[in-house]
Structure 1
């Protein structure tokens, strides 16, 4: 049996079809029983397959949650970047002739590329607006009041939480992938032996082999 070109879902479907037919078709069941693949042995395979299906479903769920968390985090990050970029421009306009204040706000230098430095720079900027009444008063006419700055600080906290959730989901997804892969190794080994035995047990009945998903060359 070759499964290397198939998706995990296709492999699970193939295995399920083979075991279902081995359980429900009397002629196949009788032939396989003669080679130690009776009801108890097939039940063993079914249990391993069910465990693999559960691992696959859980892995898919974790992957979906990771994708959702990534989209949410990236959207918040992009929005904050644009907000901060715009607010820096407002500060440069309000204090275009006040180099000291521009330096105090940290808007003379370019926006840092690293995440940590970028977040620190934003927090520093907005905290000054919140805590310095004179600066806040001059920025208020450009719709950057202390209240707006406070709200933006909350947005930064929300983005950081979204980032933590994204990395948490990424880790859980990786663990789920490892568990899924281990489960597939186990069911692949079991089904490989099953198919090998089936080719012997049903050697003279190619139509029954094909019912198990084994391609018989004419």
Structure 2
């Protein structure tokens, strides 16, 4: 489909409306099989395509909102974790065992699943390991703070699940929308072909249907 989906749907609505309300055009089209039954078929395909297109737009909007909520929460917790991780690396540079227990050896996690795992290990270690707690007390990384960060992680995971759900629903509606638009497009191709034949001698009437004729 070369033109935008929105423009195609509006062109279809205009073509069908004008074809039915313009007596001469309607009569000419009827001679080539575009009668009331055919119009009903076209309107039905239009209504289905328009409905799934609008529903897909709604799902897209919900996905963007879910993505924004998740991204903001992720960025906030990422900044917190990076700061705490960096301070721990500085403080414990001569204490490799503590760094191993905190899970901070190696690069900062980039993939979101690795980020979740590393963050949980880090704050759980602070929460449950007394020697780690004593070591990190100097930089004020307390069990209470670790509990708050773990709660933020739980919230972030909820946002991620919601985002994944919305993304899946949006992808499913994309398939339906494309199929329904394709069915309508095929019907309109046939409609345009018959209209060009029926109205060959009156090109200005073709333009009423949104069919541009080369001069």
What TM-score does the superposition give when structure 1 sets the normalisation length? 0.87
| Cα offset, 1:146, TM superposition | 1.6
Q: Does 1:167 align with 2:144?
A: no
| Residue 201 of structure 1: aligned partner | 198
Match of 1:102 among 99, 104, 124: 99
Alignment root-mean-square deviation, CA: 2.1
Query: Is the CA contact (8 Å cut-off) linking 2:104 and 2:118 kept in structure 1?
Result: no
* Secondary structure of residue in 2 paired with 1:214: coil
CA contact (8 A) 1:59 1:173 kept: yes
Q: Deviations over 1:49-103 (max 9, x none)?
A: 0100111111122222222222222222222221111111332455455443233
Q: How does 1:51-90 map to 2 (within 5 A)?
A: 51-90=48-87
CA contact (8 A) 1:123 1:153 kept: yes
The equivalent of 2:34 in structure 1 is 37
Cα distance in 1 for residues equivalent to 2:111 and 2:214? 59
Question: Which residue does the alignment assign to 2:173?
Answer: 176
- Provide Cα deviations, 1:154-196, integer angstroms capped at 9, x if missing partner: 2112222222222222222221111111111211111111111
Partners of 1:16 and 1:49 within 8 A in 2:
yes
What is the TM-score when the length of structure 2 is the normalising length? 0.88
Could you tell me which runs of 5 or more consecutive residues in structure 1 were left unpaired when the two chains were aligned. none
Judge which range, 4-13 or 26-35, deviates more: 26-35
**How far apart, CA to CA, are the structure 2 residues paired with 1:169 and 1:101?**
40
Q: Distance in 1 between matches of 2:58 and 2:167?
A: 12
2:25 corresponding residue in structure 1 = 28
Structure 1 position 119, deviation (Å)? 1.8
* 1:149 equivalent in alignment to 2:149: no
Q: 8 Å contact 1:90–1:139 — kept in the other structure?
A: no
CA contact (8 A) 1:69 1:165 kept: yes
1:140 Cα offset (Å): 4.7
Q: Distance in 1 between matches of 2:176 and 2:193?
A: 26
Alpha-carbon distance between aligned partners in 2 of 1:171 and 1:25, rounded to the nearest angstrom: 44
Total equivalences in the alignment: 215
Query: Using the alignment, how far apart are the partners of 1:154 and 1:45 within structure 2?
Result: 54
Shift of 1:141: 5.2
Is residue 74–residue 156 contact of structure 2 (8 Å, CA) maintained in 1?
yes
